[in-house]
Chain A
Amino acid sequence: AGPVESKNEAAMSELVPEPRQKPVVPMKPMGINANLLGYIGIDTIIEQMRKKTMKTGFDFNIMVVGQSGLGKSTLVNTLFKSQVSRKSSGWNREEKIPKTVEIKAIGHVIEEGGVKMKLTVIDTPGFGDQINNENCWEPIEKYINEQYEKFLKEEVNIARKKRIPDTRVHCCLYFISPTGHSLRPLDLEFMKHLSKVVNIIPVIAKADTMTLEEKTEFKQRVRKELEVNGIEFYPQKEFDEDLEDKTENDKIRESMPFAVVGSDKEYQVNGKRVLGRKTPWGIIEVENLTHCEFALLRDFVIRTHLQDLKEVTHNIHYETYRAKRLNDNGGLPPMTVETEENHESNL
């Protein structure tokens, strides 16, 4: 036992390096409010930050979910004013509806005002289209979690990339059928499962089939049903940071889900070229707030809350996934360890 013992001893000291002497970190006293007697230039950090972010560019990943024929691709094209949907990049209109839910992600680079954005549109053909739609949200949930997993793997590397590519889904637009009655069981099931892992923004598709009153009533019913079922859509109440946020977001929550109409065709109305749908009884102007709420959705998602969508995804949904993953012991199968021999006491 002698030599074996000492070898183990030596091995042990290699396993556990000597704990570093923890130097006393000087206590930070309460911040003293120092009054500046004159301009210094601290506020230029805003410009510095802005310049840096413009140089690096932004990633944004948006997912669209809904039964086929609800106008998902058209809406996304209208939102980003270019042919970003799956259908525009080589999809054959005659293609059959897939037998299971597929996930198709297409990436584009668009630029506006010096800001470069890498936009990825994730389409989910086949959702809700089968006869038996049980668990059809599972491939979607799996995809979302896979992106979190990818990010986590990069984050825990020893030698990390300077900028970890972000493929996580920042926003999921869920298309509700404009039945005028209420939500369908599939809608509720999907949103119940997915609102916990991703920001869901429900929209009422093809809203040009409802009158104003029908629209208002339908929206109220939908909101009520979501509330009753405990479904928190984006912007979630619990993440409002301060009063300012809360008032702004309360207004938005009250008018959701937005009833939208999408179009990529332009028509001449009152001397202006507008995006719209032409019907025998008039032209529906997509960006006209009296006709539909597309402009509200666009402003909300792109002009005011784009950064917030990304931050909630990163700071909350991703962190939740990470914590769960680390707690579950990495989900690896339990290591088979030698069982202890039972020593009966001689007493």
Chain B
Amino acid sequence: QNVGYRTLSLSGHVGFGSLPDQLVKKSIKQGFCFNILCIGETGSGKSALINSLFNTNFDDPVSTHFLPSVRLRAQTYELQESNVLLKLTVVNTVGFGDQINRENSYQPIVDYIDAQFEAYLQEELKITRSLFSYHDTRIHVCIYFISPTGHSLKTLDLLTMKSLDSKVNIIPVIGKADGISKTELQNFKNKIMSELVSNGVQMYQFPTDDETVSEINTIMNGHLPFAVVGSTKEVKIGNKTVRARQYPWGIVQVENENHCDFTKLREMLLCTNMEDLREQTHARHYELYRRCRLEEMGFRDIAPENKPVSLQEAYEAKRHELYLELQRKEEEMRQQFVQRVKEKEAILKEAEQQIQTRFEHHMLMHQEVKLKLEKKKKVLEDEIAMFIEKKANAELLRSQASVSTPVVSLKRDKDHK
């Protein structure tokens, strides 16, 4: 990496040693995000643990066992300690393991995790994006609650963890561990770890490459899974009030190292490795998701002839493909349209023809009737003319008869005769 770079020594104080401080100052201003996913059956102690971890009482409503499917419920809180502002999102699985048929229990969880990756990817692919002010919802750590049966892992546990181990950092814990005795506990832990290993489930390993934390992290890695007890109630012991669970036979103190691994979990999760969890999520799990997703969409880094392909070229090729497809469809639709128009035209033409014939027929009829009527009219007119003539003659005769002498009438009669 440093090929071609000369190493120089400084002849005096320059001042860039303050760079980490400058970076830290900016990060503090922006605030931090941390997202925890808790998976466990109803009643495995998830809410109690979160409350104990953050020393608060997050208002989590108690769920029933009768939900039809697994749902995820996310709640965001803003916590502040000294000058650090933390946006904490706790996602709980509701109804996990309750159904009779639990085949699809883990799918909603996988989908949720993928959805957060997808949302980040979409933002990253945008043209105008604002990554530095993006509220990161990707799950940084998954706390998986194992039931304190004392025997071994359940099939559901193995199945769920196997489907999640390449997507999220998993830390297994044994919930409500106050029901197991010390001797049983160690056997149980060993059994669990060997089962996980033999099934190829990848757990989150606390990082051991940094000398300052490698020792403690290695020790802690050996204590997995953590047997935890959580409590929302406080009990007075001596002159202190601590989180504890009170039984007739004694008091289990949450923060007592001899009683349970709670403090170890808190130390590892928050004080030592929070930043590493965030980084692993981004650099490993998210990159894997992104790579798979882009390959799914058809993008490649290397073309078939082993030539490097730029994303832009891939975009262009894809767009061209889809464009040709679009054109083909358009063409198809156009053809159909033309076809239908032709058909419609033919129908209309025929109808027009029919109307034309009928019209002509009617015209003919009309002509005939008209002729007939004309004839009749002529006949009638003739008759009227004759009648008028007759009437005129009769009038004349009558007038002559009343005025003239019989001689005339005789004459007339003679004439008439």
Contacts and interface: CB of A to CB of B under 8 A. Distances in A.
Interface of A: 8, 12, 15-17, 21-23, 25-46, 48-55, 58, 60, 79-84, 89, 107-115, 117-118, 153, 156-160, 162, 165, 241, 275, 298-299, 302-308, 311, 315, 319, 322-323, 326-327, 330, 332, 335, 337-338, 340, 343, 345-347
Contact of B15 (A25, A26, A156, A298): A298
A114 B328 CA distance: 64
B198 interface: no
Interface string B117-130: 00100000001110
A52 B89 contact: no
28 contacts: A21-B111, A28-B89, A30-B76, A36-B54, A36-B55, A36-B56, A42-B79, A42-B270, A43-B84, A48-B274, A49-B275, A82-B11, A107-B6, A108-B5, A156-B311, A298-B15, A302-B14, A302-B15, A305-B22, A306-B19, A308-B22, A319-B129, A323-B128, A330-B316, A337-B323, A337-B324, A338-B327, A343-B338
A92 B138 CA distance: 54
Interface of chain B, helix or strand or loop or mixed? helix
B305 interface: no
B29 interface: yes
Nearest to B109: A23
Given A109-B8, A160-B287, A43 B55 contact: no
B2 interface: yes
Given A157-B301, A319-B129, A323-B128, A46 B28 contact: yes
Interface of B: 1-2, 4-29, 32, 53-56, 58-59, 71-84, 86-87, 89, 91, 108, 111-112, 114-116, 119, 127-129, 131-132, 137, 210, 212, 266-267, 270-276, 279, 283, 287, 290-291, 294-301, 310-313, 315-316, 320-325, 327-328, 330, 334, 338, 341-342, 345
A140 B285 CA distance: 39
Contacts of A315: 131-132
A31 B276 contact: no
Contacts, number: 256
B12 A81 contact: yes
A32 B270 contact: no
B271 A44 contact: yes
Interface centre among B2, B15, B28, B116 (most CB of A within 10 A): B15
A60 B14 CA distance: 14
Contact of B274 (A22, A45, A157, A159): A45
B327 A340 contact: yes
A179 to B, nearest CB: 31
B10 A112 contact: yes
Contact of B77 (A32, A156, A165): A32
A46 B77 contact: no
Contact of A41 (B14, B56, B59, B270): B270
Interface centre among B8, B108, B212 (most CB of A within 10 A): B8
Nearest to A340: B327
A5 to B, nearest CB: 9
Contacts of A303: 15-16, 18
Nearest to A46: B24
Given A23-B111, A32-B59, A39-B81, 16 more contacts: A8-B328, A21-B111, A33-B78, A34-B77, A35-B56, A45-B275, A46-B84, A58-B16, A117-B19, A158-B295, A159-B291, A303-B18, A307-B25, A308-B26, A319-B128, A346-B341
Given A25-B119, A82-B11, A302-B15, A41 B55 contact: no
